[in-house]
């Protein structure tokens, strides 16, 4: 490590460890070693180390801004000719993503203090949040594919533990299991690609992998089938992390977990998965089929996710599908070689979606309800929550001059000439998202109060402070975007693209305002409309399709394996045992008890053996 590096960069490897240290500091309270004290000290210690991570990351970002990007490599395991190193990429993009992770973790932890005001297992939650933060920070900083995969596995485990936080509830256990298993499918396929790359390229550093990919593409030494399988495996991991079709069901079920965890899961966790995919962009060019699959997955997730969100009556699920939709747009941008648009969309969506889930969490904490058909009239009772929701919704739907307006404007302008269909996908997703946000706004904040919302005061200051702070940040996003140099010409797109984005958002608001809302008849009595509504509400019956295809196939395979084990394997072993017992039963009848007879048989057997050996020894071995 160069001694001339600023101290903040020399110690940048400590930043992921801050989160893990918070987990370690929470263990004494989580394990009950301090039974006479409350569990708030564990929360305060985690807040302190997360604040240190934010400050350290800010200093590192400033130094990289002044001195340029750097790379840190630390050896941690060496045996024979195998050397494994921890590589950290200290660039503007990685450190900006790190600041997003640590800052959002800090806000979510402050929000959690108010949300879990009476939670008996507060220390365990903060320990898991520290584990979550450490894994996320390592993923965005890692420059080594092996380390990145290892941290992604830790992220999968932390998701399982956070979703299953309230493990006494059966639905929570099922949701945590499904989230873990779904991600494991993508992780296993990604592991296959990691092993293949380690064997073919001889290095796990992303820069070395890029050089290897360029060389292989130039000389054509990699078979097309191998390149396709490699690309599909690389796509599978981020697909699971970003809840993309067909691995998207886990994010919907993960809403059974605590809302503060949902804030991070819908903003920075999916962002981390997309950043890993962006690091793999040069490798995906080895296969056109893999790139086309990525494009198809992103398009289906974007449009279908936005449509399914329109039919959800659960407050958190209505926005979880929106996350799948927006990450689908990121996948489309990556497949079309538009990393600037993808980065911009990840940043703007992450901040706005976190604010949206904070406002949703405030409503749930106050009303103890998340069913839209039982709500209404909250606007006058919760003004801070209302303001946060409006700013978050405006930041998500291309409203001038907030963040996503520039994202959609850049995308439409860049794709309209070369890929007009995908420019239309961005506009359609903007329209459907605006309609969904307007529909939920009407159900929550307008209309007459219901029994669930008649008494719903504004949330406490611990929840209001991070919510108001993030509201200000989302409003100031245009000023922040003006200072981003790696993405030139943010505002330099034609007025026609801006008008298209604005009109699609306005049309979406009009559709959301026109949609009939009936709290007592949440499903239409008209059969065609009801069937279409059910199709969207049940996510195009994806779960049922899985049940009659993949699940049924695995179940039949398990039954066949059980039959082979019971009938063939056990039958063969049991048959040998029964044969031995039957032989023993027959032989015992020949036992007379006369020792001279036994001795005679032994002598005859030995003589016969010697004669046989002598005869074999006397044979001439022919050439």
Other residues' Cβ atoms within 10 Å of the Cβ of residue 134: 27
If one compares 616 and 155, the residue with the highest pLDDT of the two is: 155
* pLDDT for res 73: 80
- What mean pLDDT is reported for the chain? 83
Angle at alpha carbon of residue 518, lines to 360 and 363, rounded to 5°: 15
- Tell me: pLDDT of 498 over 60: yes
Confidence grade of residue 29 (pLDDT, cut at 50, 70, 90): confident
Over residues 587-603, mean pLDDT: 72
Residues across the chain: 623
29 membership: H or E segment, kind and range: helix 15-30
Instruction: Look up residue 85 and give its two tokens.
Output: 């190193």
* pLDDT for res 300: 92
Other residues' Cβ atoms within 10 Å of the Cβ of residue 61: 18
Dist CA 451 CA 519 (whole Å): 12
Phi-psi region of 67 (alpha: psi -120 to 50; beta: other; left: phi over 0): alpha
227-241 burial by CB neighbour count: b if 16+ within 10 A, else e? bbbbbbbbbbbbbbb
With H, G, I as helix, E, B as strand and everything else as coil, classify residue 293.
Answer: helix
Cβ contact 406:330 at 8 Å: no
Cβ contact 50:19 at 8 Å: yes
* pLDDT for res 176: 85
- For every residue of 386-422, DSSP letters joined together read HHHHHHHHHHHTT-TTSHHHHHHHHHHHHHTTT-HHH
Lowest mean pLDDT among 52-56, 507-511, 521-525: 521-525
Q: Tokens 């380390």 label which residue? A: 147
How do 70-79 and 82-90 pair as beta strands?
antiparallel
* pLDDT for res 497: 79
pLDDT in tens, 382-428: 888 889 999 999 888 877 777 788 888 888 888 888 888 998 999 99
pLDDT in tens, 248-298: 888 877 887 888 888 888 888 888 888 888 888 888 888 888 888 999 999
Q: Please tell me what DSSP assigns to residue 222.
A: S
Single out the residue of 69, 58, 74, 75 nearest to residue 8, CA to CA: 58
- Tell me: pLDDT of 484 over 60: no
Single out the residue of 545, 452, 507, 483 nearest to residue 347, CA to CA: 483
Cβ contact 61:70 at 8 Å: no
Task: Say which residues have a Cβ less than 8 Å from residue 523's Cβ, sequence separation at least 6.
Answer: 530, 533, 534
Dist CA 292 CA 311 (whole Å): 29
**In Å, what is the CA distance from 315 to each residue of 104, 187, 312?**
21, 30, 8
- Tell me: pLDDT of 363 over 80: yes
* pLDDT for res 518: 65
Over residues 568-577, mean pLDDT: 80
- Tell me: pLDDT of 41 over 50: yes
Confidence grade of residue 52 (pLDDT, cut at 50, 70, 90): very high
């Amino acid at each position: 490590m160069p001694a001339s590096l600023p101290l903040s960069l020399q110690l940048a490897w400590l930043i992921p460890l801050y989160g893990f240290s918070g987990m370690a500091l929470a263990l004494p309270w989580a394990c009950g070693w301090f039974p006479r004290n409350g569990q708030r000290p564990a929360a305060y210690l985690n807040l302190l180390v997360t604040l240190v991570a934010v400050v350290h990351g800010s200093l590192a970002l400033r130094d990289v801004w002044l001195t340029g990007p750097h790379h840190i490599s630390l050896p941690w395991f060496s045996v024979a000719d195998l050397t494994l190193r921890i590589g950290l990429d200290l660039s503007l993009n990685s450190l900006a993503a790190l600041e997003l992770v640590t800052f959002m973790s800090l806000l979510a932890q402050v929000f959690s203090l108010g949300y879990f005001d009476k939670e008996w297992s507060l220390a365990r939650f903060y320990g898991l949040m520290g584990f979550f933060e450490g894994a996320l920070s390592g993923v965005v900083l890692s420059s080594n594919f092996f380390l990145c995969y290892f941290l992604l596995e830790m992220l999968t485990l932390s998701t399982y533990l956070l979703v299953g936080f309230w493990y006494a509830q059966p639905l929570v256990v099922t949701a945590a299991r499904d989230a873990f298993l779904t991600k494991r499918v993508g992780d296993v396929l990604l592991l296959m690609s990691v092993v293949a790359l380690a064997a073919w390229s001889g290095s796990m550093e992303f820069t070395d992998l890029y050089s290897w990919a360029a060389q292989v593409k130039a000389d054509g030494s990699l078979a097309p089938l191998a390149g396709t399988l490699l690309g599909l495996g690389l796509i599978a991991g981020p697909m699971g992390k970003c809840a993309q079709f067909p691995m998207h069901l886990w994010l919907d079920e993960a809403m059974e977990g605590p809302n503060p965890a949902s804030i991070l899961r819908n903003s920075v966790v999916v962002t981390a998965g997309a950043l890993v995919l962006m690091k793999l962009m040069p490798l995906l060019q080895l296969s056109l089929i893999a790139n086309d699959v990525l494009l198809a997955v992103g398009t289906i997730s974007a449009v279908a996710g936005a449509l399914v969100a329109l039919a959800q009556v659960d407050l958190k699920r209505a926005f979880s599908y929106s996350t799948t939709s927006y990450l689908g747009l990121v996948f489309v941008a990556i497949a079309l070689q538009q990393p600037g648009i993808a980065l911009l969309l990840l940043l703007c969506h992450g901040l706005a979606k976190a604010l949206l889930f904070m406002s949703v969490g405030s409503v749930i904490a106050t009303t103890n309800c998340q069913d839209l058909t039982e709500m209404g009239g909250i606007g006058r009772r919760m003004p801070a929550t209302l303001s946060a929701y409006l700013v978050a919704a405006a930041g998500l739907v291309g409203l001038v001059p907030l963040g996503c307006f520039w994202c959609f404007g850049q995308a439409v302008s860049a794709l309209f000439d070369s890929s007009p269909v995908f420019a239309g996908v961005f506009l359609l997703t903007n329209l459907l998202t605006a309609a969904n946000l307007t529909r939920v706004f009407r159900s929550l904040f307008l209309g007459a109060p219901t029994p669930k919302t008649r008494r719903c005061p504004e949330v406490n200051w611990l929840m209001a402070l991070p919510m108001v702070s993030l509201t200000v940040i989302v409003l100031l996003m245009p000023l922040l975007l003006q200072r981003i140099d790696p993405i030139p010409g943010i505002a330099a797109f034609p007025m026609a693209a801006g008008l298209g984005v604005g009109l699609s958002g306005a049309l979406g608001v009009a559709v959301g305002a026109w949609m009939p809302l009936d709290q007592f008849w949440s499903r239409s009595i008209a059969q065609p409309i009801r069937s279409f509504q059910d199709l969207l509400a049940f996510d195009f019956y994806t779960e049922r399709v899985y049940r009659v295809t993949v699940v049924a196939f695995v179940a039949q395979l398990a039954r066949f394996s059980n039959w082979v084990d019971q009938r063939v394997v056990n039958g063969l072993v049991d048959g040998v045992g029964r044969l031995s017992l039957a032989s023993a039963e027959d032989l015992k009848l020949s036992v007379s008890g006369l020792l001279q007879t036994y001795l005679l048989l032994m002598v005859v057997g030995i003589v016969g053996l010697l004669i046989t050996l002598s005869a074999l020894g006397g044979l001439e071995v022919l050439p």
